[in-house]
Structure 1
Amino acid sequence: VHELWDAETFDYDYCVLTLETDIVQSPTVQTVELATSAPTQGTTAQLTGWGKTSGTSSTLPYLLQYTIMDIVSWEVCKNLWEPAGHMLTDRMICASHPTASGCNGDSGGPLVVDGKLVVAQIAHAYIAISPRYNNGRIVGGTDAKADQAPFQVSIVLYTGWFDYLHICGGSLAGRRSVVTAAHCCDGYHASDLEARYDGLDFVTLKTINKVTKIDIHEGFNSQTHDWDYCVLTLRDDVVKSPTVQTIELATSVPLTGSAAHLTGWGRIPVTSAKALLQYTPMVIVSRQQCNEIWEPACQTVTERMICASNPSAGGCSGDVGNPLVADGRLVGILSWYGKDCPANTVEWPNLYSDVANQWQWLDDRIAK
């Protein structure tokens, strides 16, 4: 593994495996040469792999898949990904196709131009990245204490080949349910997901509970993040203890200026040695004030959203679905946030799905 590999940013994403025996070349087995220069914009490339053939599929294809890709300029790619919170480095290149791409299980697969693998130390690294898996965790938070969020859940995606990835947060509710954001669930099968909880360190969470059912709000709009509600039903009942508790739903909207708090792990690589739950106090912001801030940025704060802020802390990618709690009840589900996850969320408040607004819909789907 490259000594500068960064699991948070995917920078220096290189690894060489040494095999037990020599490769015997034949008409169906060949090695590939490494590129010594980066391909130019518009160059035709090819991508192959056995990864998933759609974002909603839970199985891998038997036959190797192939697609043509076009190299995208670094500047264009950077402009596309920076608003989503992902920073491109000099060790990355981008490729695109209007109807095809890599998916889960394709990471590490070869991007080939003119018969050469376009990855080498003096070229760039092609990486498969998705807005769902952006880097970042609670900005400006502190390590949480055991009694601050015993209902906190990490929602983990099985990506194939025994690989798991934290994608969102959530809250334990009822007998065996998790309340989270719809865009944490959209496009997945229940068998793709599991809930992990009971502890502060993500790496050593004691309980893994499989998801058996996904309920996404029928009004969910993936473009505006309106109606951003989801309930996951778990396989096993939640066993309560001093470190595991469920949380009650708020049935009324918290008043402007009310104290609240946000917890979460953000984006945590499963290979991390340690990743402690983060905590930050927040203050509820009026919907009117929040709309005045966000409307000039072409974002509408609807009746199903509430806002919260802190002059030096807020949620970031990987924190979506995390609980906003006031007076011991779940009042919000983190839904979206400002570009590049600004620490000053007074200037750009975090947006949460308003639990009280859809209390009945959530309660009807939570296992009692």
Structure 2
Amino acid sequence: MKPVVVIFYLVILITQDAFPTKVDKTDVGYGKRANTYQFPYVASLQIMKKLLGATEYFHVCSGAIVSNSWVLTSASCHFLLRRDFRVAVGILSSRAVGTHGAQYRNVTRIVEHPFWIGGNGLTSFDVSLIKLGFPLIWTKSVKPVLLPDSKQQHFGTAVVVGWNSANLSNKNFLKYAVVEIIDSIECHYGIVHAVGLVSTPKLSNDMLCTKGNYDSTACIVDSGSPLIRHGVLVGIASWISDSCPRKKAPFVFIKVRSVLDWIMTELKTP
């Protein structure tokens, strides 16, 4: 019976590590560094730059692996207008080169949600799907995320994962933080208070807001960061305050449930 008990406890430890539910003050603010295999569905979208004659790739946005050929991210990533970028998966450092288990793919197609109107502010349906040039190979460090069903609820705590491309001191390592899902009224006033907008655009039904526990918003988020609840992808980061961490502005995500039909339709396209 002892081997069975050991395996049972190992399963519990792995599950708790992958989907943390206990909130600790070290989980917020700049987040905690992710462990190997903890978030195998997170992708780094990287732009190519030439420095001193050498070609390097730099992390710009995050995304979530939804199939072996598609990554879901935010449509408002500026770099999507350029062609010289790639998708990196199976990595813990966004600047890592030749990391064991890492996979890199070029992009053949970008499909923006048909209802997205563009822009950098609070815009509805701010999501896009990126078609990879070659299918991913499933490993311990590269796996698809679970998608929600049409009845997915949005309350309680969740986990946000990202590198925060705007924070040079933390951008190299994948981190996560436990955040609290809040209602649209609290979100609206939180944005006004933090950013100082006289008239904040109305939040639409496809949007979901979070704030950091202990009044400390997680500053690891970048555009396209996945929001996970009980192992299920519930949101994709869309609007992020430039003032983080000085002001505790909420983060706005697009509900994956709201765009699920569109995702499933696109995944079936060749």
What interval of TM-score do these two structures reach, taking the shorter chain for normalisation?
0.7 to 0.9
Residues paired across the two proteins, number: 225
Cα deviation per residue 1:304-330 (whole Å; 9 max; x = unaligned)? 11001112232457x110100011111
CA shift, 1:237, in A, is: 1.1
CA shift, 1:174, in A, is: 1.4
Bigger fraction of residues in helix = 2
Alignment of 1:160-239 (within 5 A): 162-184=55-77, 188-189=81-82, 191-204=83-96, 205=99, 206-220=102-116, 221-222=118-119, 223-239=121-137
Is residue 245 from structure 1 mapped to residue 135 from structure 2 by the alignment? no
**CA–CA distance in structure 1, aligned partners of residues 111 and 59 of structure 2:** 20
CA shift, 1:284, in A, is: 1.0
2:18 equivalent in structure 1: none
CA shift, 1:149, in A, is: 1.1
Q: Percent identity?
A: 23
- Secondary structure of residue in 2 paired with 1:361: helix
8 A contact 2:217–2:250 mirrored in 1: no
Cα deviation per residue 1:100-146 (whole Å; 9 max; x = unaligned)? xxxxxxxxxxxxxxxxxxxxxxxxxxxxxxxxxxxxxx942111122
**CA–CA distance in structure 2, aligned partners of residues 260 and 366 of structure 1:** 26
- Secondary structure of residue in 2 paired with 1:212: strand
1:275 equivalent in structure 2: 172
Name stretches of at least 5 consecutive residues in structure 1 with no aligned partner. 1-137
1:16 equivalent in structure 2: none
8 A contact 2:40–2:143 mirrored in 1: yes
Taking a change above 3 Å as real, the CA distance of residues 268 and 305 of structure 1, as seen in their structure-2 partners, is closer
8 A contact 1:202–1:276 mirrored in 2: yes
**CA–CA distance in structure 1, aligned partners of residues 61 and 252 of structure 2:** 15
**CA–CA distance in structure 2, aligned partners of residues 268 and 343 of structure 1:** 14
Name stretches of at least 5 consecutive residues in structure 2 with no aligned partner. 1-27
2:11 equivalent in structure 1: none
- Secondary structure of residue in 2 paired with 1:246: coil
Match of residue 303, structure 1, among 205, 209, 215: 205
Cα deviation per residue 1:230-278 (whole Å; 9 max; x = unaligned)? 000001112111111111222344332x2210111112899x9x92211
8 A contact 2:162–2:220 mirrored in 1: no
CA shift, 1:192, in A, is: 2.5
For the aligned residue pairs, the C-alpha RMSD in angstroms reads: 2.8
- Secondary structure of residue in 2 paired with 1:183: coil
CA shift, 1:295, in A, is: 5.7
Q: Larger relative contact order (C-alpha < 8 A, sep ≥ 6)? A: 2
Match of residue 313, structure 1, among 208, 217, 230: 217
Taking a change above 3 Å as real, the CA distance of residues 269 and 197 of structure 1, as seen in their structure-2 partners, is farther
Taking a change above 3 Å as real, the CA distance of residues 141 and 316 of structure 1, as seen in their structure-2 partners, is closer
**CA–CA distance in structure 2, aligned partners of residues 322 and 332 of structure 1:** 8
- Secondary structure of residue in 2 paired with 1:158: strand
- Secondary structure of residue in 1 paired with 2:258: helix
